[in-house]
Chains A and B, each alone.
Chain A
Amino acid sequence: MGKSLRVAYGEALVKLGQKNDKIVALDADLAHATMSATFAEAFPDRFFNAGIAECNMMGMAAGFAHTGYIPFASTFALFGSGRAYEIIRNSIAYTNTNVKFGLSHSGLSVGEDGGSHQSIEDVALMREMPNMTVFVPCDPTEMEKAVFAAAEIDGPVYIRVARPVCEDITTEDTPFIPGKANILKDGNDVCIITMGLMVPIALKAAEMLEAEGISAAVVNMHTVKPIDAETILAMNEKCKGIVTAEEHSVIGGLGSAVAEVLAGHAGAKFERVGIQDKFGKSGKPAELFAAYGLTAENIVEKCKATLA
């Protein structure tokens, strides 16, 4: 039985709130979609609705943080990272203010709502800000760890929260160290570096490659910033090719972050699977993943391209 990452986010917030009375939550009239409502039910006096006003929600969250609270602000990833971008930039990141963002409905997996609601640039927008940490958890267990890790960090943390139900890949015992990637499967020929909902798809691609006699590693880059350059460079030394796979634009996201690390390392063979400079559209998540090439088959093809 899987669980939606947003449900895991809401439950994790409650657990965190039980341990730390400085945790407060804000939402912009989407509490029942982001699941910050779970926190609101548990701690009604520590939940503040900003109404449909994302910019003001971020400003108010900063105000809370300046008096010693640890606010978690939630809304859809697109409106949080996009509309409120400059509030986050100037009133939170610039000041290294202790605000956490749990922004949900990220990526194409929003599905039927279509391109207006599918955030494919949030990781890019968040990771280019100094002082910002960016987490992209891949399953419910990792989501809880990310929420707790965010509270431990003194500064802004972006947590990308996806909507679909997904199975656990990691376990209670899997370490979650910010900035330290997890090698989920080792391999020698090609390394797939991935995050979020693409992790299980990358694992499937690795299996398909193994069946063809190609040894493929899979790295879960749960922290996109600070990026684990050490692991990327070690895998680049060991493997002939590197392929990134993300439910995000290939411009500015994980693919770009890895490319930035690989740049200057002559001879790196590198391919990116992700949304190729296009907006999303309405459809079922699985249909959209297929239409935009977010598939195990496409990852396999790109891996082979690096080996050619």
Chain B
Amino acid sequence: MNYEKKAKELRQEILKSLFACQSGHPGGSLSCVEILMALYYDEMKNLDPKDPKKADRDRLVLSKGHACPTLYAILADLGYFPKEDLAHLRQIDSHLQGHPDCNKTPGVDMNTGSLGQGMSLATGLALAAKHAKADYKVYAVVGDGECQEGIVWEAAMSAAHYKLDNLCVLLDYNGLQIDGTNDQVMGLGNIVEKFKAFGFECFEVDGHNIEEIDKAIEAPVSGKPKFICCHTIKGKGVSFMENQVGWHGRPLKPEEFETAMKELEA
């Protein structure tokens, strides 16, 4: 796969769907494109768009659920549902909800949106897999601001306690949240050291480099959950959105949309 070309296409799809509904979250959607590409195109096993609930599939919990336009663009690209559906994101009667809904959208494994809960849900899935002696893996993609939620650390403690080496947590570490930078709002401190202290095997990668993400996902671990700190740029790929706090959740004006689409031409 030509990752660079595919990433541009996906970013275009994301912005088209966000422009159509005039709401949603561009910044955080653009920052996790390569993370979800690594998972869906390279790493997750036993996926079948014709059988989205296949029992032995690897699961993704997009804990930062507001970035779902990225997940939807990839699921449509893989054939879980028609690409035309993306134009109806967040609209009444669309199966593409403002935050992921596993009962409505084929391929969505778990409802998320209320921050922090995805870590806990993923931990439960991984523990259930261990108990059932099933081989599938569970991936959780979490946001950095989200790590301010206490339940993230409750889940982290339990994932280590139950030795969930079938759980892989990927942090989309773009450093920005709604009210400002992480450091301005509520500093995360050394987030890698924190996960390490909670009992995770930790990795740090460039979150826009798919080969690096793949390598970290494939690194063997035993008896420990995995944490991959993916350094990213919020709004990645669109010059005027990159590293701008204001682009967390604001609609695109027509001229902004045109400029962005031009920048993303493959």
Contact = CB atoms under 8 A, between A and B. Distances in A.
A56 B158 CA distance: 8
B46 interface: no
Contacts of A63: 120-128
A59 B162 CA distance: 15
Interface residues of B, number: 31
Q: Is the interface of A mostly helix, strand, loop or mixed?
A: helix
A207 B13 CA distance: 71
B117 A90 contact: yes
Interface stretch (A46-54, A162-170, A269-277): A46-54
Nearest to B114: A90
Contacts of A67: 125, 128-129, 132, 134
Interface string B107-140: 0011101100101111111111101101000000
A109 B145 CA distance: 41
Given A55-B150, A87-B120, A90-B117, A64 B158 contact: no
B131 A55 contact: no
Contacts of A59: 117, 119-121, 123-124, 151, 155
Interface string A167-211: 000000000000000000000000000000000000000000000
A129 B148 CA distance: 27
B246 to A, nearest CB: 27
Interface string B156-173: 011001100000000000
B154 interface: yes
B22 interface: no
Given A53-B157, A56-B158, A62 B113 contact: no
Nearest to B53: A66
Nearest to A95: B111
B102 interface: yes
Nearest to A56: B154
Nearest to A89: B114
A24 interface: yes
A60 interface: yes
Interface residues of A, number: 26
Interface in A90-141: 90-91, 94-96
Contacts of A55: 120, 150-151, 154
Please provide the 3 A-B residue pairs with the shortest distance between their CB atoms, ordered closest to farther. A63-B124, A59-B120, A60-B124
A61 interface: yes
A64 B128 CA distance: 5
A292 interface: no
B91 interface: no
Given A59-B121, A59-B123, A67-B132, 19 more contacts: A24-B131, A45-B131, A50-B158, A51-B161, A59-B117, A59-B155, A60-B120, A60-B123, A60-B158, A63-B120, A63-B121, A63-B127, A63-B128, A64-B131, A66-B121, A66-B124, A66-B128, A67-B129, A86-B114
A207 B125 CA distance: 53
Contacts, number: 94
A28 to B, nearest CB: 10
B158 A53 contact: yes
A26 B135 CA distance: 23
A279 interface: no
Q: Is the interface of B mostly helix, strand, loop or mixed?
A: helix
Interface of A: 24, 45-46, 48, 50-51, 53, 55-56, 58-64, 66-67, 69, 86-87, 90-91, 94-96
10 contacts: A53-B151, A56-B120, A60-B120, A61-B124, A66-B109, A66-B125, A67-B125, A67-B129, A67-B132, A90-B111
Given A59-B124, A66-B125, A53 B111 contact: no
Contacts of A58: 120
Most chain A beta-carbon contacts within 10 A, residue among B101, B121, B126, B154? B121
Contact of B127 (A48, A53, A91, A94): A48
Most chain A beta-carbon contacts within 10 A, residue among B101, B151, B161? B151
A223 B113 CA distance: 31
Interface in B190-219: none
Contacts of B127: 48, 60, 63-64
A45 B130 CA distance: 11
Contacts of A61: 124
B111 A51 contact: no
B151 A90 contact: no
Contacts of A62: 120-121, 124
Contact of B111 (A24, A50, A86, A91): A91
Contacts of A45: 131
Contacts of B129: 67
A86 B129 CA distance: 25
Contacts of B119: 59
A273 to B, nearest CB: 37
Contacts of B123: 56, 59-60, 63
Interface in B73-110: 101-103, 109-110
B139 to A, nearest CB: 13
B133 to A, nearest CB: 11
B113 A90 contact: yes
